Amino acid sequence: MALAEETAIDLGAMTQATAALDEIRAMVRPCIQCGTCTGSCPNEFAMDLTPRHMWRLVLLGRTEEVLASRTFSLCSACYLCSLRCPRGLPLTEAMGRLKQLAARRRLPHLRSGNLFYRNFIASVRRHGRVREMEFMSLYFAQMMNPWLPLRYAGMGMRLLRRGKVELRLPSRGSGRLVNLFDKVAEMESRS
Amino acid sequence: MNYLYYPGCSLEGTAREYDISTRALMAAMGADLVDIEDWTCCGASAAEALSELLTLVLPARNLALAEAMDLAGRDLLVPCSACYLNLRRVEEKTRVSHALRDRINEALSVEGLVYRGQTRTRHLLDVLARDMGAPVLGRRVARPLTGIRVAPYYGCQCLRPYPAFDDPETPRSMEPLIRAAGATVHDWTMGGRCCGASHMNTKMAVGLERVEALLTAAQGADVIATVCPMCQMNLEAFQKKALRGTEASPVAVVYLPQLLGLAVGLDPEVLGLGLNLAITPDFRQKLDRIPTAA
């Protein structure tokens, strides 16, 4: 479980985060703060910082404030802001980079998304294809909130009844993509 | 109309009826689909949240497998919008950056694979709208869906960021197909708006807000037609929760190839219609009143 077993923040993490944010800043440097992104975002109502405001903080290099917000984690990759940005900036892609940066820091306020994606991709690493029921069960277990699974129980039963998901114990699988994942991790640690 | 085919993980599980109906409709239209051998997950939306390189390498593995097949000259047909975007992104990015292609190939070398950049990934809606087209469909319609009002729902990732076959802001490509099937188009502006995607799993309140907005705008339609497993799941599985405390009524939600398959005269069972989670009694009754093909 290379991704899931990454160690916590090391001493160089801050410097790394600043360097990574520099790359993201370069992606949005021509931003003119027009706010078209904010006006286009379907999830803006739930964000603490508007997208426009967050990009401004990125431009100013205020890493900690950017990472403390939930804004980028609420991007659902609909690409409306990227489509409409008058400067043609790859905003959705930059949101993805922020998600990756935050995932490496394991920020507590973004725990649910982080655990969800890590369990999803760990299932892919083990089996080659995702096993929906397996990764959702592990996600629920790690969230340690006994009420959470109940919100999905009705749907789970309907899916089981139709044979669309299977109840299987989590397994190590064939390790189908382990080599490829390890290679990617090795290449990313180099750069 | 012959294609390589990448079903993707959802189509083996929660979206089985999308796979079943795509294969059934394409066969009925005389198209031949050949699965990519040994395909694996494209990374979905999970890889992008974790690693930039993995986001490209996971789909590239499948493109490399497609290139290695005997039928490599065929376009690659993909029904899932998230898979489509992930695969297509590799094609678009490596076309302009050979350095990136080399980097991807360095990773793929552990599998003995090479991606040369020769694939052509196409979304199912693209293929239905442009390769098949409404006139060809119209000639095959055996059971016109008269009186059924359809809200065409495109979602995001088949339209953006790569607008290959439709207007990414105001999509219309489903409308001629729906009319050719004998049904009526529900006029709305929400066809290309986001369903909340995977927020339903991690931030349910946000996802429910999106779904409520879509279902409210779909009032008056008998059925919503989708072309993405995630859109379909969000719209069908969470209706009760999303509409709690509102005046809105439930709306049936089916995959576009299921709807077109019905018009071509395929049996509902053959199209996996028993597997959907939101087939309303009203929609079922209207369907039952339409005479079956002779």
Which domains does chain B show, CATH number per domain? 2-124 (1.20.1050.140), 136-289 (3.40.50.11810)
Size of interface A-B (CB pairs under 8 A): 163
pLDDT digits (tens, 9 = 90+) for B164-184: 999 999 999 999 999 999 999
B45 interaction partners in chain A (CB closer than 8 Å): 77, 117
State whether A101 and A114 are in the same domain: no
Q: Do residues A10 and A95 share a domain?
A: yes
| A132 contacts B107? CB cut-off 8 A | no
In A116-145, the residues whose Cβ lies within 8 Å of chain B are: 116-118, 120-121, 124, 128-132, 136, 139
Residues A84 and A123 in one domain: no
Mean pLDDT calculated for residue range B98-114? 98
**DSSP H or E run through A84:** helix A80-84
Question: What pLDDT shows up at residue B47?
Answer: 96
Out of B14, B49, B201, the one facing A100 most closely (by C-beta) is B49
Distance from CA of B50 to the nearest CA of A (A): 5
Mean pLDDT value across residues B201-226: 97
Q: A96 and A116 in one domain?
A: no
Long-range contacts of A143-149 (CB under 8 A, 24+ apart): A143/A111, A143/A112, A143/A115
The CATH code of the domain that includes A86 is: 1.10.1060.10
A124 and A45 share one domain: no
pLDDT at residue B294, rounded to an integer: 59
pTM recorded for the entire structure: 0.95
* Residue A13 sits at the chain B interface (C-beta within 8 Å): no
User: Which residue, of A52, A75, A105, is where some domain finishes?
Assistant: A105
pLDDT at B107 over 50: yes
pLDDT tens-digit profile of A82-141?
Answer: 999 999 999 999 999 999 999 999 999 999 999 999 999 999 999 999 998 889 999 999
Give the mean pLDDT of A44-57: 98
d(CA B23, CA B11): 11
State the best of A24, A109, A124, A137 to mutate against chain B, taking most chain B CBs within 10 Å. A124
Q: Residues A98, A16: one domain?
A: yes
Q: What is the mean pLDDT of residues A25-34?
A: 98
Whether residues A136 and A67 share a domain: the answer is no
* Residue A176 sits at the chain B interface (C-beta within 8 Å): yes
- Asked if residue B288 has pLDDT above 70, the reply is yes
Domain ends where: A75, A90, A105?
A105
pLDDT at A166: 86
Q: Is pLDDT at A3 greater than 60 in this prediction?
A: no
Determine contact: A64 vs chain B, CB below 8 A: no
Mean residue pLDDT across chain A: 90
Residue B294's CB: how many other CB atoms inside 10 A?
6
A19 and A85 both lie in a single domain: yes
- Looking at residue B160, what is its pLDDT? 98
Average pLDDT over chain B, rounded to whole?
A: 97
Q: What is the pLDDT of residue A170?
A: 81
A188 contacts in chain B (CB < 8 Å): 51-53
Confidence of residue B293 (pLDDT cuts 50, 70, 90): low
The pLDDT of residue A14: 64
Give pLDDT, residue A57: 97
- With an 8 Å Cβ cutoff, are B160 and A181 in contact? no
Structure-token pair, residue B74: 């065929």
Do A98 and A116 belong together in one domain?
Answer: no
pLDDT at A174: 87
In the predicted structure, residue A9 carries a pLDDT above the cut 60: no
Tell whether the model's pLDDT for residue A1 goes beyond 50: no
A117 with A100, same domain? no
Report the Cα B77 to chain-centroid distance in Å: 11
Comparing A64-73, A134-143, B51-60, B183-192, which segment has the lowest mean pLDDT?
A: A134-143
Domain count, chain A: 2
- The answer to whether residues A65 and A34 belong to one domain is yes
Shortest CA distance to A172 belongs to which of A147, A138, A141, A142? A138
Banded pLDDT at A2 (limits 50, 70, 90):
very low
Kindly report which listed range (A154-158, B54-58, B79-83, B250-254) carries the lowest average pLDDT score.
Answer: A154-158
**A46: closest CA among B206, B290, B253, B210?**
B206
Whether residues A139 and A173 share a domain: the answer is yes
- DSSP type of residue A108: G
Please, which residues 1-40 of chain B have a Cβ atom closer than 8 Å to chain A? 9-10, 12-16, 40
Contact B53 A130 (CB under 8 A): no
Task: Please report the pLDDT score of residue A6 as a whole number.
Answer: 45
Specify whether the CB–CB gap between A100 and B54 falls below 8 A: no
Q: Using the predicted structure, report yes or no on whether residue A7 has a pLDDT greater than 50.
A: no
User: Tokens 């189908």 map to which residue?
Assistant: A176
Domain boundary among A68, A90, A105: A105
| Domain boundaries, position A69 | 3-105
Q: Considering only alpha carbons, which residue of chain A is nearest residue B17? A: A164
Q: Note whether A29 and A77 are within 8 A (CB).
A: no
